[in-house]
Chains A and B, each alone.
Chain A
Amino acid sequence: MGVQFILCFNKQGVVRLVRWFDVHSSDSQRSQDTIAHIYRLISSRDHKHQSNFVEFSDSTKLIYRRYAGLYFVMGVDLLDDEPIYLCHIHLFVEVLDAFFGNVCELDIVFNFYKVYMIMDEMFIGGEIQEISKDMLLERLSTLDRLD
C-alpha cells in the first residue's frame, strides 16, 4: 500500500506539482520522461467513457482524475485498491478548494509551496495520515499564519 508519486499537470502537460515518495533517482531527465509518458497516456483518454485507472508499468498503475483543466494523478502499486485512491485525490482537491476558497490553477502555480504544505499534512511518506477535513483545515490555517 502507499502512493508512489503525486503529480498534477494541466491539459497542455505543464507540470504544476510533483512529489515522488518512493526512492526515485535524482536523474531529472528520467523523471521528466516518465512525466511526459504519463501525460501522453492520460491526456489521450476519453474523459467520460473511460475508467480513471491506467496500468503504467510492472510496478505501477495510475489513478487520475481531472478537475476543470487540471489532472491529478497518483501512482500506486499494482495490487492496491483503486477506488480508495480516487477518494484520496478527491479529498486532496476538496481541501485545496476549502483552503484557497474556490481553488484555480493560478492559486496552485503561485502558491505551490503552500500546496506542498497541504500535501504534507495529508500524506506522510506516501501514506495517508489525516482524513478529517476540519482537522486538516484548522491545522493548515495555523501553519499558514506562522509566515
Chain B
Amino acid sequence: MGSSLRSFIKDVRGAKTLADERAIITKQSAKIRTKLRDDHLPHEKRRVNIQKLLYLYILGEKTHFGQVECINLIASDDFVDKRLGYLAATLLLDESEDLLTLLTNMLNNDLHHPNKYAVSLALTSLGFLSSPELARDLYPDVENIIKNSKDPFLLKKALQCAAKLIFKDVSLLEIFNIEDITKILANHSVCTHGVLLGVAKILQSILSIGLNRGNDDGEDGVDYNSDVLSPLSLLLRDFFVRLENLNSKNIEPGYDVQGICDPFLQCEMIYTLKLYFQVGELLDSKHVLDYKNNFCDLLTRIATNTDSTKNSGQAILYETVKTIFSLNLNQPLRVLGVNILAKFLTGKENNTKYVSLNTLLNVVPQEPTAVQRHRKFISHCLQDSDVSIRMRALELSFAILDDSNLVDSVNELMKFLAKQDEDSKDLIVYSIDHLVDTFDFHTVKDEGWKLDIFLNVLKMVGSFINYEKINDILIIINNTTQLSDKSDFLRKLLTISLGEKSIEITDENIGWQLVLIWCIGEYGDLILNQNDESSTNIINESSVTNYLLNIKESYTTTNHKIFNYILTAALKLSIKVHDPKNIEQLRQLILGYSDSSDLLLQTKCNQYEIFFNQPVSVRKVILETMPKFEKINEKQNNIKKPSKSLISDESTNLISDLLGDDSKTEAKTLKSDNVQPIDLLEEIFGEKKAVNQSVKSGEEQEKSADLPLQSTKNSNVILPSDAVKIHDSTSLNVYASLLSANAGQAHIELYFQAKLPMSDLQTFCAVPKTQKLTLGQLHPSSTIEVNQICKQLLKISGSGKLKLRVKLNFHLNGSLSTTNEQFDHKFDKTL
C-alpha cells in the first residue's frame, strides 16, 4: 500500500528527539485534516490519508476528525476501500457516536452483499459496534445468514454476531429460533470448530439472560422455562456428546494445541454446560437436573484424562474445577477438584501456582479439609519469589488455619516472616494482623510458646507493625495467665536489648521498644525481685532504669507515642525499684518533659509528678498491674468462637458493670477505685491514637470517634479558593496552598482529593538540600472517600527555590496492593 504511509512511519521512527517526533506528528496531523476536508481529493490520496490517520491512532493521537471519512470509504464499491473504511470505523468510532446511525444503512446493505468478503466485513464490524439500536435494526439480516448460508466462514461470524445482539437486546429472544441452530448442528459439512464456537456463544448469551432474569416473567410474555430452556435441552445434550468426543479424541491435526484437541472449544463447551445447569438450578427445572449426574461423570472423566503438564490442558482442568465448585457438585468431585489444584501448586510454573492459589482461596469454605491436606505445598509457596504468589499463599494459609494445625502453621509463618524485607511491608502487616486475630480466636494451651512467637515477630518485623496491632499484642501479653510466662518474656526481651547482642534491635524497631517499655512498667518487679544468682546479672534495677533513660535519648524525633510510654513506664517502675538513686533518676526522667513542646506530654508530666510525690502506699494501689482486658469488637461478635469467652474473667465483667462501660467498642478497664488514674491511663490510650494518624485504618477511626480527643477529626476539610492543582491522576487530585513564605520559612498546605476510595495514604516529601522539611499529620485521616479531602501541613525552613517532590503510597478500593504515585512541583517563590 501507499509508499507515503511507509515514509511517514519511517519519519516518525527516525526522529532523533521527542520534540522532533512531536513536530512531525503535529505537522502530518494538520495536513491530514486539511486534505480530508478537500472534496476533490483523488481517491488514492484519501485512502493513504486514512491509513496515516490510523497510524496516528495507534500512537495515541486525536483522530476524531476522520470519522466521517470512514463512512465515505465504507460506502465505496471498491472492496479495498470498504475494508479500510470498516477497520477505521471499528477503531475510531464507538457506540456512543451519532455516526452509528449512518452506519446502520451501510451495514444493512453489506449484509446482503453478493461478495462474501464484504458480508464478512459487515459482520465483523457489527460484532464490534453492536448497540441496542443496531441490534434491533440488523438482527433480521444476521438471522437471514444463519438460516440460509452454507458457508462456515460466514456462519461462524453470524452466530457470534447474533450472540452479541441478543445479549444487547433481550427482547430478540422472542424471535430467536432454536430450530436454526439445531439445523446447523445436524449438518456435518458446516459444523467446523469455528461454527461450534459460535453456537456455544449464542447458547451462552441465551443462558446468561436466563440467569439474570430468574423466575420473573418478562414483559415479552416469554416463559423462559418452557419456551427457551426446554427446547435448548436437546441441543445441549448434543453438545455434551461433542465435548465428550473432543476430550477423548486423540489428535485432530488442525486443532492440536500442545497435544490437546482444541482447548478453546472444550473450555467454551464446559462453560456453556455450566451455565445450563446453573439456569436449571435457578429455575428448578427437573429435566435439567435429572441430567446432572451424567455431567458429573463427564467432568470426572475430563478431570482424570486431561494432561495437566501443558498450559492448554491446565486451561481445561481449571475450567472444569471452576465448574465443579460453582455448581457445588458432589463431594468426591470437589475433592478431585482440590487435588487438581494442589497438583498445580507442585509445579514450577508461576502461572499455574497463581491460578491454583486463587481458586483454592475461593473453595476453602466448600471443602476446607481437602484444602488443608495440601498445607505443605501452600506453605512452600510462601517462599516463592513472586510477591503476588506469596500474598495469595499467605491469605490461604490463614484461611485454612485451625486448632489442629495452629502450631505448625504459625511456625511456617515465622519462617516466612524471617525472610521478608522492607519491600514486602504489605505482606508483613497482613501477617501480623491475622496472627493477632488468630491468637484471639484460638486458645493456645502453651502460652509461653505464644509469647515466644510474639518475641520473634517483634524481633524480626517490629518496625512494620502498626500501633493498633501493638496495642493488641500488649493485650495478649497482659491476658497471659501465668506470671512466670510474662516474666520469662520480659527477661528475654531485656536480655536481648541490654545484652551485647543489642545490635539486633535497631532504634527503628519501634514495635519492640514500645512493648519492652510497657512490660518494664508493668512487670519490672517480676524480674527484679527474683534473686536469681545464676543469671548473668545484666538485668538489675539500675540497668533497667538506665535503659529507660537511654531510650529517651535515642528518640529525639517527634515520636510522642514512645515518650508517653516511657513516662508511664517510669512512673510504674518507680514503685518497683528500691535504690533511691534509681528512683530519683526516674523522677528526673519524668520531669524532663515539663518543658516539652507537646502540650499533652507536658500535662502528663506534671500530673505524674504530683503522683510521684504521693506516699509509696498510695502509689502502689494506683499503679497496680493492669487487670485483664476484654477486647470486644464487631469482628468477634460475628464469629462465634467459644475461645473468647474463656479469656474474659468475671472480675472484669463486674468492673465493666460498675463503670457502666458498655457503649465503647473497646473497653479498657482498670481495677482501682481511685478515679483519677483511670482518667490518666485512658488518656494514654487516647493519646496513642492521636499520634498515630498516619497509619490509622478506617476501622480504628470509627472506634476512636467517640473519644473526645478525636472530636475535631470528623470535620470536613474544605479546599481553599487559592489552592492550586499540582497533580492530577486517575486516583486523586493534589492541591497546594502557600500559607506563608517569609525569610527562611514557608508553610504549605497540601490537599488530597480522592477520586477513588483509598486507605492508608502515606506521603513522602522531599525538598532541596538547602532546606529542611517538617511534615505534619494527615488530617482528618489517611482513609479518604471519593471526593473527600484530606490535608497536610508542610513546614519548610532554609534557603533556595521552593520546590517539592512528593511520593504517595496508598491502597485503592481496599485492595492489599500498594499504589505509588510521584510528582514534582515548583512554587514561584524563593526563601
A positions within 8 Å CB-CB of B = 1, 15-19, 21, 23-26, 28, 31-33, 35, 37, 46, 49-55, 58, 81-84, 86-88, 90-91, 109-110, 112-113, 116-117, 120, 124-125, 127-135, 139, 143, 146-147
Q: Which residue of B lies closest to A25 (CB)?
A: B94
B3-19 CB mask vs A (1 if < 8 Å, else 0) is 00010010001000000
B161 within 8 Å of A (CB atoms): yes
Residues of A close to B660: CB separation below 8 A = none
Residues of A close to B271: CB separation below 8 A = 1
- Decide if A83 touches B63 in the complex (CB within 8 Å): no
A18 to B57: give the CA distance in the assembly, Å.
Answer: 9
- Decide if B388 touches A50 in the complex (CB within 8 Å): yes
B401 within 8 Å of A (CB atoms): no
- How near does chain A come to B560, taking the closest CB pair, in angstroms? 38
- How near does chain B come to A79, taking the closest CB pair, in angstroms? 9
- Decide if A19 touches B254 in the complex (CB within 8 Å): no
Given A51-B386, A83-B318, residue A26 in contact with residue B160 (CB < 8 A): no
A12 to B817: give the CA distance in the assembly, Å.
Answer: 25
Q: Which residue of B lies closest to A37 (CB)?
A: B730
Given A49-B385, A130-B194, A146-B117, residue A31 in contact with residue B60 (CB < 8 A): yes
- Decide if B315 touches A84 in the complex (CB within 8 Å): yes
What would 21 A/B residue contacts be, using CB atoms closer than 8 Å?
Answer: A16-B58, A18-B58, A19-B90, A19-B91, A26-B64, A52-B351, A55-B815, A55-B817, A81-B318, A83-B311, A87-B264, A113-B1, A116-B91, A124-B123, A124-B161, A125-B130, A125-B161, A129-B194, A130-B194, A131-B194, A146-B80
- How near does chain A come to B729, taking the closest CB pair, in angstroms? 8
- Decide if B51 touches A113 in the complex (CB within 8 Å): yes
A128 to B268: give the CA distance in the assembly, Å.
Answer: 10
A1 to B205: give the CA distance in the assembly, Å.
Answer: 10
Given A53-B351, A86-B311, residue A32 in contact with residue B255 (CB < 8 A): no
Interface of A is mostly: mixed
Q: A23-B96, A116-B87 are in contact. List 8 more A-B contacts (CB 8 A).
A: A51-B351, A51-B386, A83-B355, A84-B319, A124-B157, A131-B193, A132-B255, A135-B194
A88 to B265: give the CA distance in the assembly, Å.
Answer: 12
B positions within 8 Å CB-CB of A = 1, 6, 9, 13, 51, 54-55, 57-64, 79-80, 83-84, 87, 90-91, 93-97, 117, 123-124, 127-128, 130, 153, 156-157, 160-161, 163-164, 192-194, 197-198, 201, 204, 254-255, 257, 262-265, 267-268, 271, 311-312, 314-315, 318-319, 322, 350-355, 385-386, 388-389, 730, 813, 815, 817
- Decide if A50 touches B94 in the complex (CB within 8 Å): no
Residues of A close to B350: CB separation below 8 A = 49-52
- How near does chain A come to B612, taking the closest CB pair, in angstroms? 56
Closest 10 CB pairs of A and B: A125-B127, A83-B315, A51-B354, A84-B315, A124-B127, A51-B350, A132-B254, A50-B386, A49-B385, A32-B60
- Decide if B322 touches A28 in the complex (CB within 8 Å): no
- Decide if B813 touches A58 in the complex (CB within 8 Å): yes
Residues of B close to A132: CB separation below 8 A = 192-194, 254-255
Given A1-B204, A21-B128, A28-B63, residue A147 in contact with residue B386 (CB < 8 A): no
Q: Which residue of B lies closest to A86 (CB)?
A: B311
- Decide if B385 touches A46 in the complex (CB within 8 Å): yes
Q: Tell which of A21, A109, A139 has the most Cβ of chain B within 10 Å.
A: A109
Q: Which residue of A lies closest to B730 (CB)?
A: A33
Residues of B close to A112: CB separation below 8 A = 54-55, 58
- Decide if A125 touches B386 in the complex (CB within 8 Å): no
- Decide if B386 touches A131 in the complex (CB within 8 Å): no
Q: Give the contacting residue for A125; candidates B93, B164, B315, B352; CB below 8 A.
A: B164
Given A50-B386, A125-B128, A127-B201, residue A26 in contact with residue B60 (CB < 8 A): no
A100 to B545: give the CA distance in the assembly, Å.
Answer: 79
- Decide if B13 touches A109 in the complex (CB within 8 Å): yes
- Decide if B386 touches A49 in the complex (CB within 8 Å): yes
Residues of A close to B58: CB separation below 8 A = 15-18, 112
- Decide if B351 touches A82 in the complex (CB within 8 Å): yes
A4 to B389: give the CA distance in the assembly, Å.
Answer: 25
Q: Which residue of A lies closest to B257 (CB)?
A: A87
Residues of B close to A134: CB separation below 8 A = 254
A129 to B63: give the CA distance in the assembly, Å.
Answer: 29
A91 to B160: give the CA distance in the assembly, Å.
Answer: 19
- Decide if B192 touches A81 in the complex (CB within 8 Å): no
A24 to B91: give the CA distance in the assembly, Å.
Answer: 11
- Decide if A87 touches B315 in the complex (CB within 8 Å): yes
- Decide if A131 touches B265 in the complex (CB within 8 Å): yes
- Decide if B61 touches A28 in the complex (CB within 8 Å): yes
Residues of B close to A84: CB separation below 8 A = 263-264, 267, 315, 318-319
- How near does chain A come to B247, taking the closest CB pair, in angstroms? 15
- Decide if A81 touches B1 in the complex (CB within 8 Å): no
- How near does chain B come to A60, taking the closest CB pair, in angstroms? 13
A31 to B730: give the CA distance in the assembly, Å.
Answer: 11
Residues of A close to B254: CB separation below 8 A = 132-135
Q: Tell which of B57, B60, B80 has the most Cβ of chain A within 10 Å.
A: B60
A82 to B163: give the CA distance in the assembly, Å.
Answer: 23
- Decide if A26 touches B94 in the complex (CB within 8 Å): yes
- How near does chain B come to A6, taking the closest CB pair, in angstroms? 12
- How near does chain A come to B8, taking the closest CB pair, in angstroms? 11
- Decide if A143 touches B117 in the complex (CB within 8 Å): yes
Given A1-B204, A51-B386, residue A129 in contact with residue B94 (CB < 8 A): no
Given A51-B353, A84-B263, A146-B80, residue A130 in contact with residue B60 (CB < 8 A): no
- Decide if B354 touches A53 in the complex (CB within 8 Å): yes
Residues of A close to B312: CB separation below 8 A = 83, 87
Residues of A close to B59: CB separation below 8 A = 15
- How near does chain A come to B755, taking the closest CB pair, in angstroms? 12
- Decide if B730 touches A26 in the complex (CB within 8 Å): no
- How near does chain B come to A67, taking the closest CB pair, in angstroms? 15
- How near does chain B come to A94, taking the closest CB pair, in angstroms? 10
